[in-house]
Amino acid sequence: MSSKKADVSIKTDNLIKDFQIPKGEDVKVLTGVKMEVKAGEFIAVMGPSGSGKSTLLNILATLEPLTSGEVVIGDFDLEDSTYKDKLEIRRLHSSIVFQSFALIPYLTAIENVKLPMKLRKIPEKEAEEKAVKHLESVGLYGRLNHLPEELSGGEQQRVAIARALAHDPKIIYADEPTGNLDTFTGREIIHLFKQLVKEKNITIIMVTHDSESAKQTDRIYILQKGKVLTEKSKSKSKKNTKKEGRKK
Ligand SMILES: Nc1ncnc2c1ncn2[C@@H]1O[C@H](COP(=O)(O)OP(=O)(O)OP(=O)(O)O)[C@@H](O)[C@H]1O
Ligand SMILES: [Mg+2]
């Protein structure tokens, strides 16, 4: 099982998503997305508002069904997967981090991180130890018993990331994780993601509107009109930056 986990990768081909609107025309959101992500890659997804970035992430995270096409997450083909398989994919593989942090307001930082472990019936002592470890690994010290409203935005996002780490996921999906943070705090979160990719070999797919954050990733997919318009690799953008630097 663990060797399988280490190889988890994501592949989509001709991924199509329509939303049926009872009182209106169907919305064709994704019209054929093709992407391939290797385990341990840090990927940015960019594109105009309404281009389907969140929809794509929600489909990959199995929170939203696809209309048709191929989506393979590790050993699971989403099109053929049952409800049970989807739970298994979530349990084994993925976690999601949102722009709004989505913490439970009446639970402290450590209680928020422990909650998913409690739901999975992990014994209290083990959950406590793991929660402290994950909170420390995201750089949150001395704030463990604070409620979300007693934390800064950056600290709240760190708690959300620690909670995402609670079941040792191989993939983290992040939907505009720095969208509610100031530039400096946002950069710190991106730095943390880079660290997680490097140290834990986690795959991260991050939707962002911020091109500076996107530049920090290995590759950028740009969605437009429901398709991947371009795919930029880090090496290319690095070369360009160097060239531009020389010109000056
Ligand atoms: N549940 C739904 N029912 C109908 N249409 C939906 C639904 N969810 C999303 N859409 C439509 O799908 C399109 C893509 O939405 P999505 O949220 O994926 O965009 P996005 O790229 O994440 O945009 P943003 O950058 O503003 O977050 C939008 O036009 C939206 O109205
Ligand atoms: Mg969105």
What pLDDT, on a 0 to 100 scale, did the predictor assign at position 29? 95
- What the block records as the tokens of 26 is 């169907």
Closest CA to 171 of 27, 12, 43: 43
From ligand 1's centre to the CA of 25, what distance in Å? 14
Decide if 242 is inside a domain. no
Which CATH number goes with the domain that contains 187?
A: 3.40.50.300
Q: Please work out whether the CB of residue 49 comes within 6 Å of at least one atom of ligand 1.
A: yes
From ligand 1's centre to the CA of 209, what distance in Å? 15
Residues 184, 117, single domain; the answer is no
Residues 112, 62, single domain; the answer is no
Read off the pLDDT band of 7 (50, 70, 90). Answer: low
From ligand 2's centre to the CA of 164, what distance in Å? 19
Residues 47, 109, single domain; the answer is no
Q: What angle do CA 135, 39, 196 make, to 5 degrees?
A: 20
Q: Per DSSP, what are the bridge partners of residue 39?
A: none
- Pairing, β 203-207 against β 42-46: parallel
Residues 87, 199, single domain; the answer is yes
The arithmetic mean of pLDDT across residues 54-62, rounded, is 92
Contact residues for 19 (Cβ-Cβ < 8 A; gap 6+): 26, 27, 29
The closest residue, in CA terms, to atom 26 on ligand 1 is 49
Residues 82, 192, single domain; the answer is yes
Read off the pLDDT band of 247 (50, 70, 90). Answer: very low
The closest residue, in CA terms, to atom 19 on ligand 1 is 50
Decide if 164 is inside a domain. yes
What pLDDT, on a 0 to 100 scale, did the predictor assign at position 243? 41
Can you give the pTM of this predicted structure?
Answer: 0.87
Inform me whether the pLDDT recorded for 173 exceeds 70: yes
From ligand 2's centre to the CA of 94, what distance in Å? 18
The arithmetic mean of pLDDT across residues 122-151, rounded, is 94
Inform me whether the pLDDT recorded for 245 exceeds 90: no
Residues 50, 156, single domain; the answer is no
Range of the domain at 137: 101-168
From ligand 2's centre to the CA of 145, what distance in Å? 31
Inform me whether the pLDDT recorded for 82 exceeds 70: yes
What pLDDT, on a 0 to 100 scale, did the predictor assign at position 9? 87
Q: Please work out whether the CB of residue 26 comes within 6 Å of at least one atom of ligand 1.
A: no
Residues 190-209 have pLDDT tens digits of 999 999 999 989 999 999 99
Residues 175, 158, single domain; the answer is no
Q: Per DSSP, what are the bridge partners of residue 10?
A: 37, 73
Percent of the chain's residues with pLDDT above 70: 90
Residues 201, 142, single domain; the answer is no
Decide if 16 is inside a domain. yes
Ligand positioned closest to the Cα atom of 49: 1
Q: Please work out whether the CB of residue 45 comes within 6 Å of at least one atom of ligand 1.
A: no
Decide if 244 is inside a domain. no
How many angstroms separate the CA atoms of 66 and 19, rounded?
10
Ligand positioned closest to the Cα atom of 28: 1
- What the block records as the tokens of 236 is 């290319």
Read off the pLDDT band of 234 (50, 70, 90). Answer: low
The sign of the CA dihedral 45, 49, 52, 54 is positive
Residues 9, 58, single domain; the answer is yes
Residues 75, 5, single domain; the answer is yes
The closest residue, in CA terms, to atom 5 on ligand 1 is 19
- What the block records as the tokens of 185 is 């705090």
What pLDDT, on a 0 to 100 scale, did the predictor assign at position 235? 53
Residues 122-135 have pLDDT tens digits of 999 999 999 999 99
Residues 189, 126, single domain; the answer is no
From ligand 1's centre to the CA of 173, what distance in Å? 17
Cα→Cα distances 157→44, 104, 163, 168, 215, Å: 18, 12, 10, 17, 21
- Residues 26/18, Cβ–Cβ less than 8 Å: yes
The closest residue, in CA terms, to atom 8 on ligand 1 is 55
Inform me whether the pLDDT recorded for 248 exceeds 90: no
Q: Please work out whether the CB of residue 52 comes within 6 Å of at least one atom of ligand 1.
A: yes
| Through-space distance between the first and last CA atoms of the chain, rounded to whole angstroms | 52
How many angstroms separate the CA atoms of 70 and 232, rounded?
22
Element containing residue 4 per DSSP (H, E): helix 2-6
Residues 65, 179, single domain; the answer is yes
